[in-house]
Amino acid sequence: MKKKLVCLAAVLTLALSLAACGSSNNNSGSTTGADPYASLQKVQDNMKTLKDAAFSLNIKMQLPSSMGGSMTLSGNGKMIEPSSAKPELVMHTKASVVGQETKQTVYMKDGIVYISAAGIKQKTSDPAQASSVTNVQGMLNFTKDMVSGLKSSKDGDNTKYSFSIKPDKMSAFFEKSANGSTSALSAALGGIKFSKMDIVLTAGPDNMVKEVDLDAAMNIKAGSTSTSLSYTMAMVYTSINTGITIQFPDFSQYKEISATPNS
C-alpha cells in the first residue's frame, strides 16, 4: 500500500504542478518572429495571471506486476492562487487497480498537504514535501535549456505545442525539493529519476492553457527498493478565473506521514 501511495503521490505531484504551468522570465536568449518558444512563452506568462481554476484529470499508469500491473485514475479538482506561497487546492480522484477501485482526496492549505486514501488520512507539514507540490514555478519553468524538440501547430482557433522536458531537469527538481526533508514520502519523491517527459499543451486564442497531455516514465527509489513506472496523463481546464471557492474538512484526524514506504 505504501509503495502505491508513493507512486500515486509522485504522479499527483506532477499533475498539480502541470495544473499551474506558469513561468518566470529567465530565458536563455531572446525569442522573436515565428520561434515557437516565443509563442509558448506568451502562454506561460499569461498563466501567471491564473487566480483560480477547476480541472479534470485522467491518468493511466503502468506499474510492476507485483503492484497490480496497471492503474487508472480519474478525477477533478479546484485550485486558488496556485502560484502564491500558500496555494489552496482540492482534488478528488478514483483509482482502479486490477478491478478494485479506491477513492483519494488531496488537499493543500496553509502549506500543508493532506491525503485521504483507502480510509487512511495522512498529512505532511514537511516544507520539502509541501514545496514539491506547491512550487509550481520551479517545477515547470519551461526555459529553453529544459525544452527539446518544440513544435507548434494550429488546431482551429487553438495552438498545440509538443515538446519534451529533459529528464535530468525533472529529476533534479524532485531531488532539490527533498533536500533537508525529514518525511519518508519526501525522501521517496527525492529518489525519482525520469527517463521520459513528453508534453502536448493546447492553448486557446487567449493564450491560456486549455489542456495538457503528458507521456512520462520514471524510476522511484524508496529505501532499498526501486520501482519503475510509466504513465500518460490528460488534464483539461473546465474553468479559469471564475471566483471559485473551496470548502475544507476538519483536518484534526489527519496523521503525519512518517513510516518508510516499504510495501
Per-residue pLDDT reduced to its tens digit, 112-145 = 889 898 889 988 876 555 544 544 444 445 678 8
Task: Give Cβ neighbours of residue 110 (< 8 Å, ≥ 6 apart).
Answer: 86
pLDDT of the residue at 154 = 93
Segments of the chain scoring below 70 in pLDDT: 1-34, 67-68, 126-142, 173-191, 222-223, 258-263
Instruction: Tell me the per-residue pLDDT of 243-259, one tens digit each, with 9 for 90 and over.
Output: 999 999 999 999 987 64
Among 32, 99, 109, 22, CA closest to 68: 99
At the second CATH level, the architecture of 2-24+36-244 is Clam (2.50)
**Rounded CA separation 168/69 (Å):** 26
Among 159, 106, 105, 103, CA closest to 133: 106
